[in-house]
Amino acid sequence: MIEASTILKGNAFQVEPEYAERLEELLALCRKNLRSVDEELIRKAFRVSYWAHRNDRRASGELYIAHPLAVARIYVDQIGFDDIGVAAALLHDVVEDTELSLEFIRETFDEKIALIIDGLTKISGAFESRDISKAENVRKLMLSMASDIRVIFVKFADRLHNMQTLDSLAPHKRFRIASETLNLFAPLAHRFGFNALKSELEDLCLSAIHPEEFQEITSELRDTQRERDAYVARFIEPLKARLLDEGISFEMYGRSKNLHSIYRKMKRQDKPLSEIYDIFAIRIILEGEGTKGKEDCWRVYSIITDLYKPMTERFRDFLSVPKSNGYQSLHTTVFGPEGRRMEVQIRTREMHEIAEKGVAAHWKYKEDIKSDDQEMDRLLTWVRDLLEDPESESAAEFVTDFRLNLYDEEIYIFTPRGDLFTLPSGATPVDFAYLVHTQVGFHCIGAKVNGKMVPLSYKLKSGDQVEIITSKKQTPNPDWIKFVVTQKARSRIRHWINEKRRQAQVLGKESWDKRSARAGLSVTENELARLASKLKFPNLQQMYFEIGSGLYDVNDLVKYVRSSLKEGETTKENEETLRLQYETFLDSAQSTGKPALLIDGELHSDIVTDYATCCNPIPGDSVFGFLSRTGVIKVHRVSCRNAPNLILNRADRIIPVEWSRQKDVQFVAALRVMGEDRVGILSDLTQVVSKNLKTNIRSITISTDDGVFEGNLVLFVSDLEHLRRLIDRIKRIGGIHGVYRFEEQSDES
Ligand code: MN
């Protein structure tokens, strides 16, 4: 194994000048964007990565180090969190793709960086394996994030560079990576507020997945560019003059929405690009900071609405109430020159940075490191909440819920006390109730919105004041699942429904067991499942559920089972039922010799025992004793058809018994033998049984029908082992196809 010192020595190997230069550019960018920069750390990470990847090349032909360098650059540029993340970005593929181990990283750097690299290696593995469901990927991603937020930050940067260089991949790979990016990474990036990064990811996805539409939108935007620029200039001119008069320093420009959201709008409204009006906005960024900056925003707003008439219904104040990802801005739509509608976004430089770079920008502006940690905590809590959702839902549901919760517009809801909650749009009072507290959701019975009673399915609007009315007696209504939109409400309600369902199934089964035992019916689970499907239940559990919840009368089932047993319906399916087909009653077979039983663990010569003729137990069978009215203990096999009935209804008479080791006693066992009706088969059978295995035959009855041979043998055996040997041996006789132990069916007890 290579020593770190060897790699880090200045003269150990030469870095090509081109890449040395890119490293210097990266460092310069770090000094510009990061609060503090440990240059030594970054140089060290670069050297280790350069050496580790020295023999690898990208599909483009460049040295592989170009990729980690680009990822680190994106990280500094778009996320700009800290220098540890930059070092991790440089090292992100080292453990996965080269001979260097995680141990090496830990020793050469430190525990923290090793942890990040470990997380990155693990999620990379999660995405490569095809058979892992998408939800599982999401969970892994979340878990890795929960260990260190930089894992996901570096992963974002890595993914963006992979998307930027997608062309060098095979088309089918391109598509897979692009759709994964669109469905998972873009929404996640949005949740963290990395808007610039999210927009670029989405546009690259659009170009990969719908190249024609992408081309169309791009060229149409280009064609109308000049006209649009001219209009923006006309719009801005009077505004600029006023702002300068007021002594406000600002930056102002027109900007179109990203291509992907234009594409989405076209799809949603089913209109061509020329008819979509809000693809374009004027953005005003104010240089004032803090309270002054905020005040400036309102001043600018009032100047704009002096000049141009606003559409009041399209006013949005994200200044007083930021979005949950930290986004702050004032949005207003006004009628500009020629009466054309134009959206204007007003924000301070700091708000702008947060809008573009999300959470990571907080660190740049907040002086107090502690409050940064709180922000980090808030994010990690959010991640953990998602992870610790008690319901393991189906993969598809998890991903869908997750995506909906990320992408949808948010609304702001107040409690009667004035506390603020953020919900996705379309949320109902039930969603709100679950958000406030699981118990509030559980017991909610009605809701008042702005003082008026509304149905629980009512769609809340931003600014609504919501009061939830609860009742101790109320429990969730399964119908709620149809209208709730939050993951939390949906999963809690689903959990409750499943729990209810499970309870009803248990109840239904109990009721069937009791009722069928009383009716003296004995049906295996398999047979019952078959009957359930004849009755058009999708499965046995559904039948139990319907019995348990009163939808299906257990007495009807008993009647049905009884009549189908009579008709001999329970046949032909498997060996178990095959046995029934050949059912004959065995004459009251008696065991010879004395009982060889321990009763309650002891030998009792004074207690009379007998072997039940319904199941003819032999030593080795699991058995129990049943105290009959005459004081005789009858021994039954546990698998006896009458056992459930006896155990359930006469539990007080059940006596534990077990076999003692006495060998000199013989028991009756009955076998059914089936095969081809050929000459000599009977003599072969008796030969094997009586001569080879020295077994006494009590009786043999045979019948033949259309070339098929059936025989019932009643034999004396000493124990189960003896019986098994017999069965094995008989099976090997030519022409014999089946040998089964069987017993008669009778209701004796
Ligand atoms: Mn990579």
Whether residue 337 is found in the same domain as residue 473: no
Q: Is 369 within the bounds of a domain?
A: no
Tokens in use for 77? Answer: 């540029």
Neighbours of ion ligand 1 (CB under 5 A): 93, 158
Residue of 234, 157, 235 lying closest to 196 (CA atoms): 157
pLDDT at 656: 77
Whether residue 431 is found in the same domain as residue 502: no
Sign of CA pseudo-dihedral 291, 293, 294, 295: positive
pLDDT at 298: 93
Q: Is 583 within the bounds of a domain?
A: no
334: Cβ–Cβ under 8 A, 6 or more apart, which residues? 304, 305, 307, 308, 309, 310, 311, 341, 342, 344
The residues pairing with 676 across neighbouring beta strands, listed in sequence order, are: 708
281: Cβ–Cβ under 8 A, 6 or more apart, which residues? 254, 255, 256, 257, 342, 343, 344, 345
CA of 93 to the centre of ligand 1 (A): 5
Rounded CA gap, 43 and 66, in Å? 15
The answer to whether 95 and 125 have CB atoms below 8 angstroms apart is no
CA of 569 to the centre of ligand 1 (A): 64
Name the phi and psi angles at 73, rounded to 5. -65, -45
Q: Is 576 within the bounds of a domain?
A: no
Whether residue 653 is found in the same domain as residue 706: no
CA of 158 to the centre of ligand 1 (A): 5
268: Cβ–Cβ under 8 A, 6 or more apart, which residues? none
Q: Is the pLDDT of residue 600 over 70?
A: no
Q: Is the pLDDT of residue 53 over 90?
A: yes
CA of 143 to the centre of ligand 1 (A): 19
721: Cβ–Cβ under 8 A, 6 or more apart, which residues? 620
Rounded CA gap, 738 and 721, in Å? 19
- The CATH number for 460's domain is 3.10.20.30
Q: Is 126 within the bounds of a domain?
A: yes
pLDDT band at 154 (very low <50, low <70, confident <90, very high): very high
- The reported pTM is 0.54
Between 357 and 151, the higher pLDDT residue: 151
The answer to whether 180 and 201 have CB atoms below 8 angstroms apart is no
Tokens 């953005």, located at residue:
283
pLDDT at 694: 78
Q: Is the pLDDT of residue 569 over 60?
A: no
Cα three-residue angle 315-316-317, rounded to 5 degrees: 125
Catalytic residue positions, numbered:
96-97
Whether residue 46 is found in the same domain as residue 77: yes
Helices and strands, number each (H, E), in the chain: 31, 21
CA of 97 to the centre of ligand 1 (A): 9
697: Cβ–Cβ under 8 A, 6 or more apart, which residues? 686, 689, 690, 713, 714, 715, 716
pLDDT at 164: 95
Q: Is 491 within the bounds of a domain?
A: no
Whether residue 671 is found in the same domain as residue 737: yes
Rounded CA gap, 476 and 492, in Å? 9
The answer to whether 128 and 96 have CB atoms below 8 angstroms apart is no
* SS3 state of residue 732: coil
Domain finish residue from 531, 556, 571: 571
pLDDT at 126: 60
CA of 489 to the centre of ligand 1 (A): 37
Q: Is 674 exposed, middle or buried (CB count within 10 Å of its CB: 0-12, 13-18, 19+)?
A: middle
Whether residue 8 is found in the same domain as residue 71: yes
Average pLDDT for 273-290: 85
pLDDT at 369: 43
pLDDT band at 308 (very low <50, low <70, confident <90, very high): very high
Whether residue 309 is found in the same domain as residue 237: yes
Q: Is 489 within the bounds of a domain?
A: no
Rounded CA gap, 156 and 164, in Å? 12
CA of 140 to the centre of ligand 1 (A): 17
Percent of the chain with pLDDT over 70: 81
pLDDT band at 234 (very low <50, low <70, confident <90, very high): very high
DSSP class per residue in 660-723: -S--S--EEEEEEEEEE--TTHHHHHHIIIIIIS---EEEEEEEEETTEEEEEEEEEESSHHHH
- Between 397-401, 530-534, 732-736, the lowest mean confidence (pLDDT) is in 397-401
Rounded CA gap, 279 and 283, in Å? 13
Tokens in use for 459? Answer: 């769609």
Q: Is 503 within the bounds of a domain?
A: yes
- The CATH number for 223's domain is 3.30.460.10
Whether residue 230 is found in the same domain as residue 289: yes
Whether residue 351 is found in the same domain as residue 379: no
Between 221 and 593, the higher pLDDT residue: 221
pLDDT at 630: 66
Domain finish residue from 484, 517, 542: 484
Whether residue 550 is found in the same domain as residue 689: no
Whether residue 155 is found in the same domain as residue 260: no
The residues pairing with 452 across neighbouring beta strands, listed in sequence order, are: 449
Residue of 663, 632, 636 lying closest to 647 (CA atoms): 636
If one counts every other C-beta atom within 10 angstroms of the C-beta of residue 743, the result is 23
Residue of 151, 147, 133 lying closest to 188 (CA atoms): 151
443-496 residue pLDDT tens: 998 899 988 889 999 999 877 889 999 888 888 888 898 899 888 899 899 888
Whether residue 262 is found in the same domain as residue 284: yes
pLDDT band at 358 (very low <50, low <70, confident <90, very high): confident
pLDDT at 204: 94
Percent of the chain with pLDDT over 90: 25
Containing structural domain, residue 621 = 595-659
Tokens 């291509």, located at residue:
259
pLDDT at 323: 77
Q: Is 746 within the bounds of a domain?
A: no
Q: Is the pLDDT of residue 282 over 90?
A: yes
Q: Is the pLDDT of residue 548 over 90?
A: no
CA of 49 to the centre of ligand 1 (A): 12
77-117 residue pLDDT tens: 988 878 899 999 999 999 988 999 999 999 999 988 998 99
Domain finish residue from 313, 332, 364: 364
Number of domains in the chain: 6
